[in-house]
Structure 1
Amino acid sequence: MTTTTSPSPESDGCEATIPIDVRAVRCGPRLIQNEVTKEIPVHLLFRDEPQPAPVPVRSAVVGSRRGTGEQPRPGRGRRAPAPARPVPEMDPDLVEHPAPVLPGAAGVLAGACGAAGCVLTSWWAGGLPDIAAEALRLPASAGTGLGGAQWAAYAGAGALALFGFGGLARGRTGRAWVLGLFGRYRGTVRRTGLLWLNPLMPRRRIDVRLRHWRSEPMPAAAAGGVALRVVVLVVWRVRDTARATLGIDDHERYLRGCVEAALARVPVDPPGGAREATGTADTLTRLVTREVAPVGLEVFSVQPVRVEYAPEVAAAMHRRSVAALDAQHRASMLTSVVDSVEDTVTRLTTRGLVDLDDYERKLLVRDLTVAFCAGGREPGP
């Protein structure tokens, strides 16, 4: 048995005596026969291991309570912003673009050529009267009759005349034509004057002028939740004829729905309110403009022109308004009476007309107040 001294971690550098059986270490069975087993110094068994890196500890913050002195929890009490309402999207290919159009003179010329072809074919077949031939200064016809060539000439000349005269249209200021073919949008015509359009394309006339729409009384609410009825005047026009024509059926019905949705989110000033309605009109205009933009409409203003209480609360709010006016009238009358009494007493005392003590002054003030109040009251029937 042999004793060996080595530093102990608990003794901070002090030596400790550890009994070790040297024979057991030297003569013990080898675990690996092919390798030479070396002795491990005893002092390496008690080597200090490196301390792990300190982990930063964040200070815990608890929720605040009144009277406890606790710190508020970060992010607690903040209301998350409501997600923006998605705006409906239309077909990206459905955008207004000019339609193919020719001047009206081209249609007139084509129609005249087709009519002339029909007349010449009739002369060729011998079906043109002699009087008409003499008027047109045509030679005498051979009168070959109606054959395949004559029918083909009739068909070609008639089709040319129909295409020429059938495609004529008159463009007006403030109006537009929306053209389509086989269910697809082909373009918009905003030109004015005599035009020639493809007669095979269906046309839809649309008004692009500035228009006013006055709504019926619609439900709304004040800031305090009082039910109201609001009449709104909307100034609008069609900006994109393709989306406005093919995207919705009825423009005014769509506007009504958008205005009702905006009124449900924006409080309206009650009748006789002291605040100006400019802020409400601006908010309504911004909301409605955002709603109708995807369908090709442009809104310039949404203005409440008449605001009244709903029928179910009209009587109660009328009584409340009368009571408020009565209270205001009484307060103003009392203020004027007090000012008059004060002025009268001050003038009498300043000029030395009366010499009053506190008791007499109180009596005089009371009598003057009663007199002024009785004089200011309107006589009853």
Structure 2
Amino acid sequence: MERLKERPAFKVDGFVALVVLGAIAILAIWWLWTTIHGWEAILGRTLKITDFLGEDTAAEISAWLGATLIAVVIPTFSGFFTVEPNQAVVVTFLGRYAGSVREAGFWWTNPFTRKRKISLRVRNFNSKILKVNDAQGSPIEIAAVVVWQVVDSAKSYFEVDDYEEFVAIQSETAIRALAIRYPYDTGDDESIPSLRGIPDEVARSLQQELQARLEVAGVEIIEARLSHLAYAPEIAQAMLRRQQAKAIIDARRQIVDSAVGMVDEALRRLSEQQIVELDEERKATMVNNLLVVLTSEQNAQPVVNTGSLYT
């Protein structure tokens, strides 16, 4: 089936149409008035419709003229409509799409058409927090905010039943699909993409996923970004302890690396400046003492050697 695309609808400036219709109405009244007075001048008396027709026929004709006037005038004025900024009006005629009007202002079109207004303003969709399994099977909580707007009013009106509900459902579906493609976190392995490790790439992937799903509804995704990301409550404590243990190990590793560097520098400077000559045993003792002092979690208590009591 061929997809509908937005196209301009027939329209006339509303003020021009109002002036033209008013002028036609005034001209018709003036023509009728001058015609009646012309016949009165010829006959020399006031004319009545009953002079030409019977009472019943005159009443019937008057009723038909009144009904005809109502049937012509009222639909004509129903052709007027207004369009606000960032708004589109979808026009249909006898069940067929006749076009859309995007230009803001006061307009007139075929009075027998149906007109439906659709907002083109930028809108936000905040998804609820969803509980899904990531690529590693860990249960996580995830939510996103989606910034979108309608760019094709014909698709939004005809291709889907309710485009706002369609955006909401497809957004949640895309978020779930995104979550199962990436792990929540990969630790030190930066070569594997994760939801926490590459937020910008995840946001672009989510935007592309949403755009592909919402193209049929004439919707453009301006931005999509995760607004909530966490482990599910049942594993949150275990994952927190794992992160804490990893942080402690990383801190210890950094402390040891720094301590070894300081000890190496101290030994090298002592040797270069020939401050003191140390044999291998005393070097080992010094290294041990320095590492204990530098890596200890508590303040080290120095022991001062003042020499031996026996000479």
TM range (shorter): 0.7 to 0.9
Which whole-Å CA distance do the structure 2 matches of 1:275 and 1:106 have between them? 61
- The structure-2 alpha-carbon separation of the partners of 1:276 and 1:164, relative to structure 1 and needing over 3 Å to count, comes to same
Which whole-Å CA distance do the structure 1 matches of 2:299 and 2:228 have between them? 34
Match of 1:200? Answer: 112
SS in 1 for 2:263: helix
Larger relative helix fraction: 2
SS in 2 for 1:185: strand
Match of 1:18? Answer: none
TM-score by length of 1: 0.61
- The structure-2 alpha-carbon separation of the partners of 1:378 and 1:141, relative to structure 1 and needing over 3 Å to count, comes to farther
The count of corresponding residues between Structure 1 and Structure 2 is: 274
Question: What is the identity, as a one-letter code, of the residue corresponding to 1:241?
Answer: S
- The structure-2 alpha-carbon separation of the partners of 1:110 and 1:164, relative to structure 1 and needing over 3 Å to count, comes to farther
Q: Which structure 2 residue ranges, 5 or more long, are not aligned?
A: 37-44, 51-57, 188-193, 301-311
TM-score by length of 2: 0.73
- The structure-2 alpha-carbon separation of the partners of 1:275 and 1:141, relative to structure 1 and needing over 3 Å to count, comes to farther
- The structure-2 alpha-carbon separation of the partners of 1:142 and 1:307, relative to structure 1 and needing over 3 Å to count, comes to same
Q: Which stretch shows the higher mean deviation, 317-326 or 217-226? A: 217-226
Q: CA contact under 8 A between 2:139 and 2:231: conserved in structure 1?
A: yes
| 1:176 Cα deviation from its structure 2 partner | 0.9
Q: CA contact under 8 A between 2:163 and 2:217: conserved in structure 1?
A: no
SS in 2 for 1:100: coil
RCO higher in structure (CA 8 A, sep ≥6): 2
Q: CA contact under 8 A between 2:123 and 2:148: conserved in structure 1?
A: yes
180, 183, 197: which one pairs with 2:92?
180
Q: Which stretch shows the higher mean deviation, 291-300 or 270-279? A: 270-279
- The structure-2 alpha-carbon separation of the partners of 1:377 and 1:349, relative to structure 1 and needing over 3 Å to count, comes to same
Which whole-Å CA distance do the structure 2 matches of 1:363 and 1:182 have between them? 99
SS in 2 for 1:147: helix
Q: Which stretch shows the higher mean deviation, 103-112 or 234-243? A: 103-112
- The structure-2 alpha-carbon separation of the partners of 1:333 and 1:141, relative to structure 1 and needing over 3 Å to count, comes to farther
Which whole-Å CA distance do the structure 1 matches of 2:227 and 2:292 have between them? 46
Kindly report the root-mean-square deviation, in angstroms, between the aligned alpha carbons of the 2 structures: 3.5
Match of 1:38? Answer: none
- The structure-2 alpha-carbon separation of the partners of 1:304 and 1:269, relative to structure 1 and needing over 3 Å to count, comes to farther
Question: What is the identity, as a one-letter code, of the residue corresponding to 2:237?
Answer: A
SS in 1 for 2:201: helix
Match of 1:351? Answer: 273
1:166 matched to 2:78? The reply is yes
Q: CA contact under 8 A between 2:203 and 2:225: conserved in structure 1?
A: yes
Q: Which structure 1 residue ranges, 5 or more long, are not aligned?
A: 1-90, 126-139
Match of 1:94? Answer: 4
Which whole-Å CA distance do the structure 2 matches of 1:141 and 1:312 have between them? 98
**Largest Rg, 1 or 2:** 1
Which whole-Å CA distance do the structure 2 matches of 1:360 and 1:93 have between them? 87
Match of 2:163? Answer: 251
282, 290, 307: which one pairs with 2:212?
290
213, 219, 237: which one pairs with 1:315?
237
| 1:194 Cα deviation from its structure 2 partner | 1.2
- The structure-2 alpha-carbon separation of the partners of 1:223 and 1:160, relative to structure 1 and needing over 3 Å to count, comes to same
| 1:116 Cα deviation from its structure 2 partner | 8.0
The percent of aligned pairs where both chains have the same amino acid is 26
119, 124, 127: which one pairs with 1:215?
127
| 1:195 Cα deviation from its structure 2 partner | 0.7
87, 97, 110: which one pairs with 2:21?
110
Q: CA contact under 8 A between 2:77 and 2:111: conserved in structure 1?
A: no
| 1:162 Cα deviation from its structure 2 partner | 1.4
Match of 1:324? Answer: 246
SS in 1 for 2:255: helix
Match of 2:42? Answer: none
| 1:172 Cα deviation from its structure 2 partner | 2.0
Which whole-Å CA distance do the structure 1 matches of 2:270 and 2:29 have between them? 116
SS in 2 for 1:231: strand
1:93-147 C-alpha deviation (Å, 9 max, x unpaired): 633333332321214532564588689989x99xxxxxxxxxxxxxx98676873
| 1:200 Cα deviation from its structure 2 partner | 3.2
Aligned counterparts, 1:1-381, within 5 A: 91-92=1-2, 94-104=4-14, 105-110=16-21, 113-114=24-25, 147-266=59-178, 267-268=181-182, 270=184, 275-374=197-296, 377=298
- The structure-2 alpha-carbon separation of the partners of 1:297 and 1:378, relative to structure 1 and needing over 3 Å to count, comes to farther
Question: What is the identity, as a one-letter code, of the residue corresponding to 2:273?
Answer: R
- The structure-2 alpha-carbon separation of the partners of 1:341 and 1:215, relative to structure 1 and needing over 3 Å to count, comes to same
Q: CA contact under 8 A between 2:127 and 2:171: conserved in structure 1?
A: no
